[in-house]
A and B are shown apart, each in its own frame.
Chain A
Amino acid sequence: MSYQVPKFRHPELPVNDLGYTKADYEGSISTLCAGCGHDSISGAIVMACHELSIEPHKIAKLSGIGCSSKTPTYFLGKSHGFNSVHGRMPSVVTGAAMANRDLLYLGVSGDGDTASIGMGQFAHVARRNLNMVYIVMNNGCYGLTKGQDSATADEGSVSKKGDPNVYSGIDLCGTAMQMGATFVARSFSGDKGQLVPLIKAAITHRGFALIDVISPCVTFNNNPQSTKSYEFVREHAEATGTVDFIPMRKEITTDYDPGFSHEVTLHDGSSIHLYKMDETHDPFDRRSAINTLEDHRSKHSILTGLIYMDKDSRELHEVLETSQRPLNQLEEGDLCPGNKMLENINASLR
């Protein structure tokens, strides 16, 4: 059940160029677990759209199924939203974008939605270079079905059940680059300072823009060593049968200088390495971007920031040479050739 956000706002909230406050970009109150990384990403989306002064109703937000796909309810309340079918958000966005090229298409997906059931659609929407922002809220597990490993979980990582994951994890950034994505970035939900500018860059990019955002699951992605936390969750889950009673946890935030590798402790006590590219990295060179990505992967560190961008990208509407006027605004006169032509066709069929 969604709640309405209280209408009360500070009277002197800063406004953007359109005269909108940040509140004009917010949605309903989140029903995700308290402290969920996804909520930080929603906040970053709100901030990015506000700072870019995009009219909220000129955005269409679409998602698939899963925890991540619930989030479009929690931001951009004045935009049309579409919570579609598991793994099939890319096709719905493709159709929507074909119908009206003037809107901004923001797709939100998770790692199950994108890397498993929707892998095919993800690959092909990247390949078609559809003009959209594709944000993956990547927590390496299936939250709504209680924590199974997802396809992005790294090999050897320990699930809630205690079994190490035996399959290699899919690197969505690497996959997207192989498929022809023209904007590829990775970030961390706790790093708003990095994420907001990346979202702004992705919105600005004309073509397919992927941001793979690592977003820890506070409820199910626990390290087995963190027994206190693990036992706590298990006891409460058994008692209530729901996940809504997880107590508030402090969100992880990180702030670090470019050019350094950082160890960030997650909710469950495990750590990931974050590495920000230094100034010498050229995100406009595809081959070096793939190499850099691979280098970091082999060192078990997670490369974040803008990884690759094709500045000369030609998005799908350009490839298909569709009319500048949105197709959904064309009328009978533009579309229907009339009876005269039909008579000619008839004549050719006799």
Chain B
Amino acid sequence: MKRIESVNDFVIKFANVNGTGSASANNMFAKALFRMGLPVSPKNIFPSNIQGLPTWYEVRVSEKGYLGRRGGVDIALSVNPQSMAQDIREVAPGGYFIYDNTKPLDLRLIRNDVTIIGIPLTQICNDRYQDPRQRQLFKNVIYVGALAALLDMDFKVLTNLVQDQFKGKEKLVLSNIQALELGNQWARTNLECPIGIRVQTSDKVGDKILLDGNTALGLGALYGGATVAAWYPITPSTPVVDAFEKYARRVRIDPGTGRRNYAIVQAEDELSAIGMVIGASWNGARSFTATSGPGISLMAEFLGLAYFAEIPTVLFNVQRAGPSTGMPTRTQQSDILACAYASHGDTKQVLLFPGTPKECFDFGALAFDLAERLQTPIIVMTDLDLGMNDNMSEPLAWDDDRTFDRGKVLTAEQLESGIEFGRYMDVDGDAICYRTYPGAHPSLGAFFTRGTSRDEKAVYTEKGEEYEENMLRLMRKWDTIKEYVPAPEFVPSGRETDTGVLYFGTSEESSREALDYLAEEGIYMDAMRVRSFPFNDEVKSFIEEHKRVFVIEQNRDSQLRTLLMAEFEFGPDKLKSVLCFDGTPISARNIRKQIKMHLDGNNVTPLHRNAVATGAGGSK
């Protein structure tokens, strides 16, 4: 058997039971590697369950800095008998299978092409701890200690990490370090350390941080000046408001009175949540809500009102696998069309697609400026992969000279200066009109906001030409919006090529890596990361300038591609889909495989999309 040998480059997958505290131990492992200067991308693959079902935690280590899902497993560490058969099956030939051998491995599972390493974790815990909860919790810490020996990790980094994490709780520091040492010693005494895969200290991290996108969005809202948050609990977006609240409690308390400079209302459902946001924004406060797929469906009617009545609205959509309840704890980019054209009638909604936690923060704050400047809903489209996993990211930064762009709002003085006020009058020629806040002036500037058709002065009308003119103005505003939303990121291949790839959000890392693989084989492609809808002109030119463009996305129905064809009228022949929708993040190997299927003389588009999915073998 040829063992996999590598330094600072592997994928390890932990198999645990949900609700046993494994995520924090696995996170400790990932963060220790990060502190050793190694780019890591941990991904928590968890069930929609509180306790008892299988859960996995995958950590990729890549000195080259590849952060996307690579595909394949080099090391599996399984402490869950429920999933053991699957776990060992997933290990790549030459890889390693580490398991709790307190109970011997089912002989039928043994593979000759995998190094099998047993650690009697349950036995060690039972010998050491009396309390059943401690037996369960420390089992996880013990295997992290053992892994440190097997992978030749810097043990000091782990103990320092524990000290930082449990600062001020000396008892916890001590017991965790003891558990780490227990595992470490057992491995050193009983196993051959290190195995063929190992790590060594590097310097590839720089000043980067390890942060989840949801927290970054919550911070973005805080820095963007949000004062009213309304929400309804839903996975995977709940942590956005949790993070906003956590930091608001720290920095938004009025020093004089002790009262709060924010209001958070947990609504009775998502309809109410978005209604509150619209009410607050209409009344001049910066307000937001966070939700996921089912919430988007419920909010659709209100999104149409906000679009038509032109009320600033900030909505964070942390996408998960749909349709319906779908797979609530798995990732997808499958709300693109539902959001882009949310609500009945002719509607178009502004979408932002952040790709990293830093961008979640930036777009989270920017969304408020855009919403008020453009007087329309801004939907920030992230996903579970970005939202709930720690992602390596550029550090967050804020320009202290930056001021909020509150858009076109007339003050009492402006109203008194004698200018003519009409809520829906296009005075400046950019199709964005002036508004007033309720209570602005005793006799000037009041108007009636409504979801029905109205004239320029906001007076109800059913005159066809007035309705039509308003709808056309909204289309002109759509053109204005293109100047404000973030431009796409162009990544030239540096070679002559007639092929391009388009991707957005969390598909970026895997796409870039796949392009590197292809370049090694002499296949060069220009790339563009779309960051917003409406699409900027650069997106159009990019597609025009290439004969064929692959559109990489994480849904079944090629939703971004559909949107590109609808908005630009490109034919289906020009845009080819690269898809992944099994609920796990798209992997670099999967992208490469699908692109090559198209390129290697297989110029035939599969008749059905499921042929693509089958051909790609899901995410593997």
Contacts and interface: CB of A to CB of B under 8 A. Distances in A.
Contact of B305 (A79, A85, A100, A321): A85
A80 B400 contact: no
A6 interface: no
A287 B442 CA distance: 43
Contacts of A96: 279-280, 282-283, 438
Contacts of A80: 436-439, 446-449
A349 B210 contact: yes
A70 to B, nearest CB: 9
B275 interface: yes
A98 B395 contact: no
Nearest to A337: B251
Contacts of A73: 448, 460
Contact of A95 (B254, B268, B287): B287
A57 B461 contact: no
A164 B418 CA distance: 58
A315 to B, nearest CB: 12
Contacts of B397: 339, 342
B438 A330 contact: no
Given A79-B446, A327-B285, A339-B397, A88 B222 contact: no
Contacts of A85: 275, 301-302, 305, 451
Contacts of B287: 95, 98-99
Q: How large is the interface on B (under 10, 10 to 19, 20 to 34, 35 or more residues)?
A: 35 or more
Contact of A82 (B208, B251, B450): B450
Contacts of B462: 1
A64 to B, nearest CB: 10
A328 B257 contact: no
Contacts of B262: 322, 327
Contact of B437 (A1, A91, A328): A328
A328 B284 contact: yes
B26 interface: no
A89 B275 CA distance: 8
B285 A98 contact: yes
A57 B261 contact: no
A246 interface: no
Interface in B544-570: none
Contacts of A91: 230, 267, 271-276, 279
Interface stretch (A120-128, A151-159, A289-297): A120-128
Contacts of A321: 258-260
A77 B259 CA distance: 35
A193 interface: no
Given A98-B228, A120-B269, A328 B275 contact: no
Interface string A92-109: 111111111011000000
B456 to A, nearest CB: 15
A203 to B, nearest CB: 16
Interface residues of A, number: 62
A323 B256 CA distance: 10
Interface string B30-65: 000011000000000000000000000000000000
B450 A335 contact: no
B459 interface: yes
B211 interface: yes
A323 B279 contact: no
A229 interface: no
A174 B271 CA distance: 25
A316 B276 CA distance: 14
A228 interface: no
Interface string B446-479: 1111111000000111100000000000000000
A85 B450 CA distance: 9
Contacts of A53: none
Contacts of A311: none
A324 interface: yes
A28 B30 CA distance: 66
B209 interface: yes
Contacts of B222: 335-337
A346 interface: yes
A82 B230 CA distance: 19
- Of listed B254, B262, B446, residue having the most chain A CB within 10 A: B446
Given A93-B279, A330-B225, 14 more contacts: A1-B461, A55-B442, A56-B442, A80-B439, A81-B446, A94-B265, A94-B275, A95-B279, A99-B280, A320-B265, A330-B227, A337-B222, A346-B207, A349-B209
Cβ-closest 4 pairs across A and B: A95-B279, A91-B275, A99-B285, A95-B276
Interface of A: 1-2, 55-58, 60, 62, 72-73, 77-85, 88, 90-100, 102-103, 120-121, 123-124, 128, 316-317, 320-324, 327-328, 330, 332, 334-339, 341-343, 345-346, 349-350
24 contacts: A77-B446, A80-B436, A80-B449, A83-B448, A83-B450, A84-B275, A90-B272, A90-B275, A91-B267, A92-B276, A95-B287, A98-B285, A98-B287, A99-B227, A99-B285, A124-B268, A124-B272, A322-B262, A322-B263, A327-B280, A332-B404, A334-B254, A337-B223, A346-B396
